[in-house]
Amino acid sequence: MWQIITNEWRYLSRTKSLLVISFSFIIILLAAAWLGYKQNKVHEKNYAEAKQYVRAEWESIKEMNPHGAAHYGTYVFKPTQVLSGLDDGVNAITGNVLRVEGHVQNEMVHSEASQMQSVSKFGKLKGALLLQYIVPLLLIFLSYHAINSEKQSGRLKMLIFQGSRLRTLVVGKTIAIWLYGFSLLLLTILVYLIFHAATMHTDVWLRTFLLLFSYSVYYFILCGLTLFLSLRIQQAAVALTCMLTLWVVWSIFMPNILQSAVSAWHPLPSRNVFKQAMKEDRSKGIDGHNPSEEREKEFRKEVLAKYGVDSVEKLPINIDGLLMQADEEYGNIVWDKHFGELRNTLAQQKQSYQLGGIINPFISLQNASMGFAGSDNYHHQHYLLQVETYRRMFIKMLNDKHAFGGSKSGDWDWKADNAFFKSVPDFEYQESPIQTSLTLYLTDIAWLLFWFTLVFILLLFGTHKLTVL
Amino acid sequence: MKYLSVLFFEWKHFVRNPFKVIAWVLFVAAAIYGLHNGASLFNKQQKEIEAIYKKVKEQYEKNIDYYQKGIKSPPDRPWVDNTTPFWAIWNLPTYHIKQPETTMVYSIGQAEQFGFYKQISVWASPYDADMAEEIANPERLQVGTLDFSFVILYLTPILLLLFVYNIKSTESEQGFLHLVQVQWGANIQAWLIARIVFYLLILLLTLTLLIVYGATLTKAILFAPEKVFQTLLICFLYSTGWLILYTIIIRYGTTLVSNTLQMIGLWLLFAFIIPSIVLQNISINKPVNLMLTFIDAQRDGREKIFAQADSVIDKQLFTLYPQIENSPMAKDSISRILARNFSASALVNHQLKQIIEEINNENESKNSIISSTYWFNPVTFFQNTLNHVSGTHYANYQHYRHQIQQLIDVRVATLTNDIWFNATVDLKKYQQYTQQFQTLPN
């Protein structure tokens, strides 16, 4: 086996055209790693400046009514992930700016894609683009050539005649070509990691390992399948056409078709319907029988009873702050219901899409790549949830100040001082731990391993009875 | 006659080659699927627009009822006075819609990245959060929708590749080429071209039928026949361009594998590598705009304006709307305070417009860079050309934003004018407002 692998490598290294192609590939892959790193740096700088600017504005509030400040609000910007330079995922689509304010849970706006005309349907020149689309094509050609050249030159018959087992030969060649793909993969990721050496930590190392693992398994599937088909199909051109068609169907056709299909199976509401439903739930109550005026009256009664007074004027606190907080909390139930349903639908879409891995390992690879790079929709939703948690804390601090800061009910001119605004913490995003991603992407890993096993079985048992003599 | 026999034999070869036939069937299936995706988005947007119109109509009828009955305020909002321009305009529901074009069936383009309806108010702007795209799964948007333009741009080259990859090289590898040379003499290139033209004809016929079929899905054939023809022309040009490149490879290539590799390499270069490099370059040199200036103006604009001295505010208003300087409200110092307060939106709008112009310029500079790459980035060129024809290009949405700004301007100008001239709003005036705020100025 080892001899077959080394012989194959020796052959590959002596093929001038392949050396030229490999060299070009390495240059493009390194360029992609460098550009991914550079873009990350530009985005980090942009993000840091914007964050600092908005925070400075908040801290510069000399004095303001807390409720006025809740309307003034603040903004958060989506930070970049270390590995998003390798796989940008949904980042260009999802928007970058989110307004944090009272009474409403906003959505992210101002996406990169909406700021210019169309350029590339397959995204930027990132490692993922090359590793998912282009390296596999090269591996298909190499695998096809590895068997076809042996068949055409008659060496295959000679090797079998000399006592080599076809099964060993095929597995050896598969491993040899897989190693070639793995080297390109490893080189790209290593170079990328060297650029990011300063920001690496355990979580990122684990994510990188999982990325490497997913791509490696996928490459093995492609190499093995191509070698198997090249051996089984007598006509060389037909074998190549088969694999190319499979590549087109797997990488171009099916992801598109399946995404459209899952969107139809688990439909999302239109923005208009979504907003209208939330508006109605807030005003009429979630059950439709608890209008906001009734809720307010009830709450006023409770507060008066709690403080043992018979009018709001006698309250030692400002009831408006409490009322606004109660309204916020009711609003939060409404947001949780509707945004929760939205998240559930998105999760259902994702789960259905992941099932596509059974017929298309590329889907599993694409999911795993985005997921482990932290640039998928799950990570995006995780970010949005953290912002919403922050918003609730932020608004509660302002409402509490309004209620207990020393003002009286109905006094809307009362203002909190600068020290208070400075004491409101800034938003800090805590990245989702790898354990969560791993759980979410176990299905994809499982499908990749399923395909790996299937191909391995085909190589072992689908070739030993072949007649080549 | 000789050429006809080439076409005839090529037809025989085509129908007897299951891979070429399967490739063609798959292509047609994908194209039909893509056309239906386009038509589906068209219908979805139409349905949403109808729902909005219905909502607006209900609100409008409710308001008309107030005027007919002489009710100044809704029972739950006693502070509202519908006879004043401020509240009449505040409560007047106006949406500006970007009607989907029937040719959307061919290219969804950037339609899923932008909103297509917008409520107009005096505080609105074309970059408001409600201008965001419809709710959609970002992973679906990232993968992209398989629409007809996707099939044309990315699958046509693959189909053509599968059609022609073995022309000449098979004959050469199997030793028949010399026989062909004997038959055709010096004219062997004509034999090669005749065979390739056969596939071009097959493709053009297929595309024509598909485009006509697509046009029936949204009735584009009735409403925009010239655009259907343009789409056809673009598709013809694009396919012919690819076939010319492949012909050059076949003409000078020697082996089947080498030819196939070169064709695939070319496809990867134009469809993947070049567009992705261009996008990456723009992303680095002109990073995404986080809209800080816009945020500042929208959030702090009003406060900053009111922080100025009254005389400064008045001067700014009179500069923008000179006619109000001699209005009844301007002459009365007490009424002037009220008019000034209600006119703040005019100054905020003016300020926002200047910032929006900067944002638009920045976006345009990105577009200029993209356009300047067209000479070596043909796939992007054709993609944007198809988007233009389908009304789903960035420029179409930019035009829509421009129209929104125009409608905001009309609203703001009317509000300011009528406040300072102390107009009273009755049913007739309200109907006049309704008409005026929906009509784009010339």
pLDDT tens-digit profile of B284-298?
999 999 988 988 888
Interface of A with B in 429-468 (CB under 8 A): none
Which candidate in B13, B127, B139 is best for mutational testing of the A interface (most A CBs within 10 A)? B139
Check residue A428 and give its pLDDT. Answer: 93
Nearest to A119 among B117, B279, B288 (CB): B279
Tokens at B388, concatenated: 């233009």
Q: What is the pLDDT of residues A177-232, one digit of tens each?
A: 999 999 999 999 999 889 888 888 889 999 999 999 999 999 999 999 998 988 88
Tokens at B135, concatenated: 């709710």
CA distance B135 to chain A (A): 6
| Within-domain flag for B159 | yes
Nearest to A237 among B135, B256, B291 (CB): B256
Which candidate in A64, A115, A132 is best for mutational testing of the B interface (most B CBs within 10 A)? A115
Interface of A with B in 218-257 (CB under 8 A): 237-238, 240-242, 244-245, 248-249, 252-253, 255-257
Report, in angstroms and rounded to the nearest whole number, the Rg of chain A calculated over CA atoms: 29
Nearest CA in chain A to B52: A272
With beta carbons less than 8 A apart as the criterion, state whether B139 and A259 touch: yes
Contacts of B148 in chain A (CB under 8 A): none
Which candidate in A119, A259, A363, A377 is best for mutational testing of the B interface (most B CBs within 10 A)? A119
In this complex, is the C-beta atom of A77 within 8 Å of any C-beta atom belonging to chain B? Answer: yes
Contacts of A92 in chain B (CB under 8 A): 142
**Given the structure tokens 């577009």, which residue do they identify?**
B367
| Cross-chain Cβ contact B30/A77 below 8 Å | no
d(CA B163, CA B153): 16
d(CA A269, CA A271): 6
| Domain enclosing residue B30, as ranges | 2-37+147-285
pLDDT beneath 70: ranges in chain B: 1, 186, 442
d(CA A260, CA A361): 18
| Cross-chain Cβ contact A260/B140 below 8 Å | yes
Nearest to A115 among B37, B170, B363 (CB): B363
Contacts of B148 (CB under 8 A, 6+ apart): B31, B34, B35, B37, B38, B105, B106, B107, B210, B214
Contacts of B22 in chain A (CB under 8 A): 245
Interface of A with B in 252-291 (CB under 8 A): 252-253, 255-257, 259-260, 262-263, 268-274
In this complex, is the C-beta atom of A152 within 8 Å of any C-beta atom belonging to chain B? Answer: no
Contacts of A93 in chain B (CB under 8 A): 113, 138, 141-142
Q: What does residue A153 show for φ and ψ, rounded to 5 degrees?
A: -80, -10
Check residue B248 and give its pLDDT. Answer: 94
Nearest to B137 among A129, A271, A377 (CB): A377
Q: Which sequence spans correspond to the domains of chain A?
A: 2-270+344-396+424-461
Check residue A400 and give its pLDDT. Answer: 93
Amino acid letter, residue A121? K
Contacts of A137 in chain B (CB under 8 A): 264, 268
Check residue A465 and give its pLDDT. Answer: 63
Q: What is the pLDDT of residues B53-89, one digit of tens each?
A: 998 899 888 888 888 888 888 877 888 888 889 999 9
Contacts of B143 in chain A (CB under 8 A): 255-256, 259, 366
Contacts of A256 in chain B (CB under 8 A): 143-146, 150
Q: What does residue A64 show for φ and ψ, rounded to 5 degrees?
A: -160, 150
Secondary structure, 3-state, B238-257: HHHHHHHHHHHHHHHCCCHH
Check residue A153 and give its pLDDT. Answer: 75
- Please report the DSSP string for A401-461 in residue order: HHHHSSPPTT--S--EEHHHHHHSPPP-PPPPPHHHHHHHTHHHHHHHHHHHHHHHHHHHH
Regarding predicted confidence, which is higher, B40 or A312?
A: B40
**Given the structure tokens 């990073």, which residue do they identify?**
B287
- The CA distances from residue B42 to A177, B100, B111, B112, B211, in Å, are 47, 6, 10, 11, 16
d(CA A172, CA B64): 82
Q: What is the pLDDT of residues B187-200, one digit of tens each?
A: 778 888 889 999 99
Amino acid letter, residue A173? K
With beta carbons less than 8 A apart as the criterion, state whether A373 and A128 touch: yes
Residue closest to A394 by CA, chosen among A326, A328, A330: A328
Contacts of A374 (CB under 8 A, 6+ apart): A81, A82, A83, A84, A89, A207, A431, A432, A437
d(CA A446, CA A248): 23
Tokens at B230, concatenated: 């343009």
Amino acid letter, residue B261? L
Check residue B70 and give its pLDDT. Answer: 84
| Within-domain flag for B261 | yes
- The CA distances from residue B278 to A115, A119, B364, B370, in Å, are 15, 7, 15, 7
Check residue B102 and give its pLDDT. Answer: 95
- State the pairing for strand pair A63-64/A416-417: antiparallel
Arithmetic mean of pLDDT, A274-286: 83
Arithmetic mean of pLDDT, A325-342: 92
| Cross-chain Cβ contact A117/B367 below 8 Å | yes
In this complex, is the C-beta atom of A109 within 8 Å of any C-beta atom belonging to chain B? Answer: yes
| Within-domain flag for B62 | no
Nearest to B146 among A107, A134, A256 (CB): A256
Contacts of B82 (CB under 8 A, 6+ apart): B63, B66, B67, B71, B72, B73, B88, B91, B425, B430
d(CA B70, CA B76): 16
With beta carbons less than 8 A apart as the criterion, state whether B370 and B282 touch: yes
- The CA distances from residue A308 to A312, A315, A322, B414, in Å, are 11, 9, 16, 53
Regarding predicted confidence, which is higher, A156 or B152?
A: B152
CA distance B4 to chain A (A): 27
In this complex, is the C-beta atom of A346 within 8 Å of any C-beta atom belonging to chain B? Answer: yes
d(CA A153, CA A9): 18
- The CA distances from residue A46 to A34, A49, A196, in Å, are 18, 5, 18
Regarding predicted confidence, which is higher, B133 or A429?
A: A429
CA distance B272 to chain A (A): 7
| Cross-chain Cβ contact B299/A72 below 8 Å | yes
CA distance B324 to chain A (A): 31
Check residue A468 and give its pLDDT. Answer: 55
Q: Is B304 exposed, middle or buried (0-12, 13-18, 19+ CB in 10 A)?
A: middle
| Cross-chain Cβ contact A259/B143 below 8 Å | yes
CA distance A122 to chain B (A): 7
pLDDT above 60 for A469: no
H or E, element range at A100 = strand A97-101
d(CA A131, CA A189): 10
**Given the structure tokens 């101002």, which residue do they identify?**
A110
d(CA A280, CA B20): 57
Which candidate in A20, A53, A121 is best for mutational testing of the B interface (most B CBs within 10 A)? A121
| Cross-chain Cβ contact B113/A109 below 8 Å | no
**Taking all residues of chain A, what is their mean pLDDT, rounded to a whole number?**
88
Residue A294: pLDDT band with limits 50, 70, 90? confident
A468: three-class secondary structure by DSSP = coil
Tokens at A388, concatenated: 């919403």
In this structure, of A304-318, A333-347, B30-44, the range with the lowest mean pLDDT score is A304-318
Contacts of A34 (CB under 8 A, 6+ apart): A191, A195
| Cross-chain Cβ contact A272/B117 below 8 Å | yes
Nearest to B290 among A77, A346, A376 (CB): A77
d(CA A284, CA A287): 8
Q: What does residue B95 show for φ and ψ, rounded to 5 degrees?
A: -115, 140
Contacts of A271 in chain B (CB under 8 A): 115, 130, 132, 134-135
Highest mean pLDDT of the ranges A62-66, A252-256, B161-165, B380-384: B380-384
Count Cβ–Cβ pairs < 8 Å, chain A vs chain B: 227
Q: How many domains, chain B?
A: 1
d(CA A436, CA B161): 44
Tokens at B57, concatenated: 């109509």
- The CA distances from residue A223 to A145, A219, A229, A464, A467, in Å, are 11, 6, 10, 18, 21
| Within-domain flag for B402 | no
What is the DSSP-derived secondary structure letter of residue A263?
H
Amino acid letter, residue A133? Y
End-to-end Cα spacing for chain A = 21
Which candidate in A35, A106, A118 is best for mutational testing of the B interface (most B CBs within 10 A)? A118
Strand partners, B119: B95
| Cross-chain Cβ contact B133/A114 below 8 Å | yes
Contacts of A77 in chain B (CB under 8 A): 290
pLDDT above 90 for A6: no
End-to-end Cα spacing for chain B = 61
Amino acid letter, residue A358? I
What is the DSSP-derived secondary structure letter of residue A356?
G
In this complex, is the C-beta atom of A72 within 8 Å of any C-beta atom belonging to chain B? Answer: yes
